[in-house]
């Protein structure tokens, strides 16, 4: 009997077609054809019910997977993702880096575990230690500055 196999192939094809031509009609028809295919198959081969159900599930899953793969290659998905790049070269930054801070020394105001507050001159800055915990009143030196992220290390006395 070839009808269950033909209905199965047609059902999976309609599920794939649903991703290319949306509207739910092809998808619903494909799922109904899979159910009819399973029903006819189980009626003709009652000993293979489990295999038929698993085959139908596998076929439907493959149809959805193939449909998603086709959908990602069509022009319909261009509005779903951002195509622009917000790079620093294009002028997009979260905050201008104050590179003049590199090499300056300051005092820890709140313990850096690993982040806290330091004072350089009379300016309070949020800072991050290079990995170690640094207690209050310790001297630190600025290693690097990236936007508003100031990385410091304990100044050895």
Give the pLDDT confidence of 20-69 residue by residue, as tens digits. 887 889 989 999 999 999 999 999 999 999 999 999 999 999 989 998 88
Asked if residue 139 has pLDDT above 90, the reply is yes
In a domain, 21, yes or no: yes
Same domain, 61 and 112: no
Residues 14 and 43: their CA atoms lie apart, in Å, by 23
In a domain, 93, yes or no: no
Q: Which structural domain, as residue segments, surrounds residue 113?
A: 99-154
Asked if residue 137 has pLDDT above 80, the reply is yes
Same domain, 69 and 16: yes
Asked if residue 129 has pLDDT above 80, the reply is yes
Same domain, 10 and 60: yes
Same domain, 12 and 47: yes
Q: What is the overall mean pLDDT for the chain?
A: 88
Residue 154, pLDDT score? 92
HSE on the CB side for 124, CA within 13 Å? 4
Q: 3-state DSSP call for residue 92?
A: coil
Q: Is 111 left (phi over 0), alpha (psi -120 to 50) or beta?
A: beta
Same domain, 24 and 70: yes
Q: Domain count of the chain?
A: 2
């Amino acid at each position: 009997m070839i009808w269950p196999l033909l209905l199965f192939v047609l059902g999976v094809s309609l599920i794939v077609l649903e991703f290319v031509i949306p509207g739910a009609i092809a998808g619903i028809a494909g799922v109904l054809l899979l159910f009819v295919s399973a029903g006819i198959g189980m009626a003709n081969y009652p000993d293979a019910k489990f295999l038929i159900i698993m085959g139908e599930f596998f076929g439907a899953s493959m149809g959805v997977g193939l449909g998603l793969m086709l959908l990602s290659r069509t022009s319909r998905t261009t509005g779903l993702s951002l195509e622009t790049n917000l790079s620093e070269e294009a002028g997009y930054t979260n905050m201008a880096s104050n590179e003049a801070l590199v090499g300056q020394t300051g005092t820890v105001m709140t313990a850096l575990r690993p982040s806290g507050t330091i004072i350089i001159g009379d300016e309070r800055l949020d800072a991050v230690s290079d990995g170690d915990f640094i207690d209050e009143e310790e001297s630190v030196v600025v290693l690097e500055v990236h936007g508003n992220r100031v990385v410091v290390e304990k100044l050895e006395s």
